[in-house]
Structure 1
Amino acid sequence: MAFARNAGTDFQVPIIDISTFTGGADIDRQSIARQVDLAASTVGFMQVVGHGIQPKVLDRFTAATDEFFALPESTKRKYSTPPHINRGYTPPRAEALANSLGIITAADLFEAFNIGVDPADHASPDLDPVDYAPTIFPSETTDFESAVTAWFGEARRVAHTMADIFALALHLPIDYFRQFTTHSLDVLRINNYQLPHPDVTLESEQMGMGAHTDYGIVTVLWADQVPGLEILDSQRVWHPVQPADGALLVNLGDALARWTNDRWISTMHRVAPPRVDGRLVPRRSAAFFHDGNPETVIACLPGCTGPGNPPRYEPVTVKEHITAKLRGSRGREPNPHAIREAARLTGSTS
């Protein structure tokens, strides 16, 4: 296991090579699982290499998304959706991610485009059309739908591999989490932090993306090697993190923290307004959220509770949890159900 160090801090995000997990020997899989267990229980973030996504897939993806975000805002807004539909375009200052924790802050600076799993992949009359709304892809770009869906597929493959690694790390059957993801609420959020002017004055404590924990099982994040992403440690200190060459940042969501009774960490993170030499600079990222089936009940795993360690969260379904979070961030309805997550942020220092 290698480590990515940040200048001026001892905070470490482990770099884990997963290339031998699929098709490798059992000893290799067990070694990777142990590394992931250590990262999940101490940091909640890891840098994953050996993921198998080819550079040309990323190059095509970033070219297509750059073309979209360069369109006039009036054109991009044609693809906006109501707050309860987790698809389409989100303009700058339309969300406040800290509200998902019940914490009121200034609106975030990022703009985004969300795509979700194709409803046709899970043809069933029982699927809620709100949860499985189709993505309306922009017609003004040349390769957006094809390039973005290609990245979606590759990120989903990595997320499934990580879920299998998580199962082994928790001493469960390797396919344990698959029963909860047969029609997972998977969403790819493509973020753009292109701000109006490098010397723009921001509101007090305004973030590129406000402090939050992710909602589901696992997040697979590609990001530019540009400052901005910050992780909150157990001492409530923020640390900057930039991805290593070729690495994807992988972090746990609330579902894993609740399943493991906080043995594993759903890490608080944010994106500060990206600056180089004091000036705001562009930054891009794409987060693939592997969240689980909406009816899945998130309740403490039997091996993660015992005498002196009772379950710390009430059981909740994936849909109930995500809906409350989205109502906070997108609908600006303070979330009263994230008390433990919000407590981690209280008293944090920069």
Structure 2
Amino acid sequence: MTPTINIPRLDLLHYTQGTTDQRHQFSKEIGKAFNETGFVTIANHGMDKALIDELYAVVEAFFALPEVTKLKYEIPGLAGQRGYTSRGKEKAKDATVPDLKEFWQRGQDDNPAVNELPRFDEITGEVYRRLESAGRELLKAIAVYLDLPEDYFEGKVHQGNSILRAIHYFPIDEPDSLPDDAVRAGAHEDINLITLLIGASADGLEVLTREGTWYPVKAHGEDIVVNVGDMLQRLTNNKLKSTTHRVVNPPREQMKTSRYSVPFFLHPKADMSLAVLESCIGADNPKAYTDITAGDYLDERLRAIGLKM
């Protein structure tokens, strides 16, 4: 039996430019979905098809560069938070083998310029800015759902430690030689507050339902997929769900093809407290987490996934 799962499609303009009733309904619907499954799809997020198409073009061009060229941009000591991270480095928490991917990350500043592809920096920078803006609006709606001041997250995330990650799930030329549990992205939960995913060049994203089955997630057209991260789950004492998800390997006949994906991980500033909100603690929901800052929690998780020693 196919599991029922609430991943609604919401229009961000209903919150940013809508009536009072539309704004209230948007907040209610995103909160309900984040409480039940941790995932929504969002339309009218501020990026047009032309920008998305060029983003994927420059991302594909970067990963097509010779390995020796890409390795120039792998920066020791940064735990993959800027520049290039080669294959075999990152794994899902508790996994025994690394994911089948390589990636590039950019943040607010100190991003290495890709000299071989002048448009790469311009396009990824523009996408970063637009997704950061959309993410801040989504956090306003979430704050309202949580009965917090609408701007509760603003000072905590504006110019925060958010990351835009361009991922290349490389072709698998010899699938029989892989370990049995080697996949493009092992089952995991995201670290941050919320993640905004700009489509992908192929299917593969799946979420784990409450019934313990895997459900494929597909965006409609240029919609983005948005999900809760562990920081937001922690802050809300599990009221909002950081749902386990993965990227599965393609069918055998498609193993030799690439898959590209570009998620935006919205992180707060390092000094934000992730202490559970008092309003999310009750007799039937006791405090589940110890107090920690976002920076310390990120550091802890980067070690768990193999990016930091």
- Normalising by the residue count of structure 2, what TM-score does the alignment of the two structures yield? 0.93
> CA separation of 1:41/1:59 partners in 2, compared to 1, >3 Å: closer, same or farther?
same
Task: Measure how far apart 1:249 and its partner are.
Answer: 0.5
Structure-2 residue corresponding to 1:307: 283
Structure-2 residue corresponding to 1:179: 155
Q: Does 1:89 align with 2:84?
A: yes
Structure-1 residue corresponding to 2:100: 109
Write the deviation string for residues 199-245 of structure 1: whole angstroms up to 9, x where unpaired: 56421111101222111211111122522111112232222222221
Q: What SS does the aligned partner of 2:72 have?
A: helix
* Paired residue type of 1:211: A
Q: d(CA) in 2 for partners of 1:237 and 1:8?
A: 9
Alignment partner of 1:38 out of 32, 41, 49 = 32
Structure-to-structure mapping, 1:215-234, within 5 angstroms: 215-224=191-200, 226-234=202-210
1:274 touches 1:283 (CA, 8 Å); kept in 2?
Answer: no
Structure-2 residue corresponding to 1:248: 224
Write the deviation string for residues 267-300 of structure 1: whole angstroms up to 9, x where unpaired: 1111112337564532111111111010111011
Q: What SS does the aligned partner of 1:316 have?
A: coil
Q: What SS does the aligned partner of 1:235 have?
A: coil
Q: d(CA) in 1 for partners of 2:251 and 2:118?
A: 31
Alignment partner of 2:179 out of 197, 203, 212 = 203
> CA separation of 1:331/1:53 partners in 2, compared to 1, >3 Å: closer, same or farther?
closer
Q: What SS does the aligned partner of 2:222 have?
A: coil
Q: What SS does the aligned partner of 2:141 have?
A: helix
Structure-2 residue corresponding to 1:341: none
Task: Measure how far apart 1:9 and its partner are.
Answer: 4.5
Q: d(CA) in 2 for partners of 1:83 and 1:330?
A: 13
* Ranges in structure 2 where 5+ consecutive residues have no aligned partner: none
Q: d(CA) in 2 for partners of 1:18 and 1:325?
A: 31
Q: d(CA) in 2 for partners of 1:231 and 1:332?
A: 26
Q: d(CA) in 2 for partners of 1:200 and 1:68?
A: 28
Task: Measure how far apart 1:62 and its partner are.
Answer: 1.2
Q: d(CA) in 2 for partners of 1:177 and 1:22?
A: 16
Write the deviation string for residues 115-173 of structure 1: whole angstroms up to 9, x where unpaired: 0112xxxxxxxxxxxxxxx1112111131111110111111111111111111111221
Task: Measure how far apart 1:320 and its partner are.
Answer: 0.6
User: Which range moves more in the overlay, 214-223 or 77-86?
Assistant: 77-86
- Normalising by the residue count of structure 1, what TM-score does the alignment of the two structures yield? 0.83
1:253 touches 1:266 (CA, 8 Å); kept in 2?
Answer: yes
Q: d(CA) in 1 for partners of 2:39 and 2:138?
A: 12
Structure-1 residue corresponding to 2:258: 282
The percent of aligned pairs where both chains have the same amino acid is 29
Q: Does 1:20 align with 2:14?
A: yes
Task: Measure how far apart 1:307 and its partner are.
Answer: 2.0
* Paired residue type of 1:21: Y
Write the deviation string for residues 252-275 of structure 1: whole angstroms up to 9, x where unpaired: 111111111101101111111233
1:195 touches 1:280 (CA, 8 Å); kept in 2?
Answer: yes
Task: Measure how far apart 1:183 and its partner are.
Answer: 3.3
1:199 touches 1:280 (CA, 8 Å); kept in 2?
Answer: no
Q: d(CA) in 1 for partners of 2:174 and 2:262?
A: 22
* Paired residue type of 2:104: F
Write the deviation string for residues 174-213 of structure 1: whole angstroms up to 9, x where unpaired: 1111132243111111101121427564211111012221
* Paired residue type of 2:86: P
* Paired residue type of 2:107: G
